Amino acid sequence: MELELNPFKPGSGLRPPALEGRGPQIDAFDLLVARSKRRNYDRGLILTGLRGVGKTTLLNTLAEHGDRQGWLTIGIEARPNDAGVAAVRAKLSQELTVGLRRYSRKHKLAALIDPLIDIARGFSLGMGIGPAHVDISAGGRAAASGDIELDIEELVETIATTLHTRGSAFGLFIDEMQDLDRDLLSALLAVQHRANQREWPFFIIGAGLPNLSAVLADARSYAERQFLYSTIGPLDPHAAADALRIPVERHGGAFTDDALDLLVDASGGYPYFLQEYGKAIWTVAGTTPFDLEDAELAVDVGRRHLDDGFFPSRWNRATERERRYMRAIADTGEDTPRSGTVAAHMGSTPSGVSDVRDSALRKGLIWAPEHGRIAFTVPGMADFIRRQPTQ
């Protein structure tokens, strides 16, 4: 097929040619938006799932919906480690300023919104991240004390109460939320809590790895009741087939039934894998309809791409010892082995490997589905590791 027309897009947060199987989450968000117009406020949303299931894509889609319905939408992506902390705070300040300016222009509301821009700049100043000169006299309030919780509350209250008058709302979209630094996370949860109580239209919409719910509960005891939680999993076979079939049909192509079944099956319904196999069959097939032979070849080619890109991007970030630990997890042959079983596979005890377990957890390579058990954050990781030669 013509390569330049290939519609499939394996990648991070790339808009898929057909976004399938996320109706319930999109409906829940649209309802939140519709209610906010009536000033009947509901809870924000937390999306959790493994890597490659489509969290970022969905988060971006929800932000677009909010934006189109007149919300002020701001997006940030959290990052692990200390360098990430300053960068994320800087990004939040910057996105606020940019987002408010865009909102002001789009809705022709300079008189109402522009004073908020000064406050957002003051917030940057309070965070110690410039700009050097700001006119903080404008709004009479500054959000620039340097105490992150006070400043964020001040900022959110000012923005949200201003938007309230218009039946609009402020949506803060946070990707990789499990990596948000603890101070900022606690501050945001506290402010969301206050917003819920005082009916300020402020909503955090977060996405992250499956451990995010535990991270939130850890930061604030009330976090569990603060949000609507939704697990983002693989697509069911019907939605997975549509994700492949619809883009191909749009270009006048088709699949034979057995070819489509094979790709759906090989992907396990995981969106990233669907895009990879979709891209591969488009590349290898000479003509349409794509048949079983094309599909078999596509699975080979697609899997090789995954082994060259998707999996190594995690594997190569691990230290030698973390790799040994991950290999031990794969060696157990279980999806969610006990920490003790994994330690035994390394010829050690749980306390003997607790440091490497912790570092792998912090890096988001593994997560703890329940106390004393661990699992990979990437679907298919165990099989990939078993395909790797041992050193």
Ligand X SMILES: Nc1ncnc2c1ncn2[C@@H]1O[C@H](COP(=O)(O)OP(=O)(O)O)[C@@H](O)[C@H]1O
List residues binding Mg ion (CB under 5 A): 55-56
| DSSP 8-state symbol, 140 | S
Residue 56 interacts with ligand X (CB under 6 A)? Answer: yes
For residues 334 and 374, give the distance between their C-alpha atoms in angstroms, rounded to a whole number.
Answer: 10
Residues 6+ apart with CB under 8 A from 271: 16, 52, 53, 54, 57, 234, 235, 243
**Smallest gap from residue 210 Cβ to Mg ion (A):** 13
Buried b (16+ CB within 10 A) or exposed e, 102-135: ebbeeeebeeebebbbbbbbbbbbbbebeeeebe
Which one of residues 243, 266, 298, 381 is an interface residue with ligand X (CB under 6 A)?
A: 243
Residue 20 interacts with ligand X (CB under 6 A)? Answer: yes
Beta bridge partners of 141: none
Residue 13 interacts with ligand X (CB under 6 A)? Answer: yes
Q: Which two tokens stand for residue 137?
A: 């006299």
Q: With beta carbons less than 8 A apart as the criterion, state whether 143 and 175 touch.
A: no
How many Å from the N-terminal Cα to the C-terminal Cα in the chain?
40
Measured from the CB atom, the residue of 205 and 274 that comes closer to ligand X is 274
Residue 381 interacts with ligand X (CB under 6 A)? Answer: no
Residues 254-313 close enough to bind ligand X by CB under 6 A: 271-272, 274-275
**Smallest gap from residue 155 Cβ to ligand X (A):** 27
Measured from the CB atom, the residue of 125 and 209 that comes closer to Mg ion is 209
**Smallest gap from residue 9 Cβ to ligand X (A):** 5
Q: Which stretch binds ligand X (CB under 6 A): 17-25, 33-41, 248-256, 323-331?
A: 17-25
Q: With beta carbons less than 8 A apart as the criterion, state whether 176 and 14 touch.
A: no
Measured from the CB atom, the residue of 12 and 319 that comes closer to ligand X is 12
Residue 314 interacts with ligand X (CB under 6 A)? Answer: no
Residue 21 interacts with ligand X (CB under 6 A)? Answer: yes
Q: Which residues bind ligand X (CB under 6 A)?
A: 9-14, 16, 19-22, 49, 51-57, 243, 271-272, 274-275
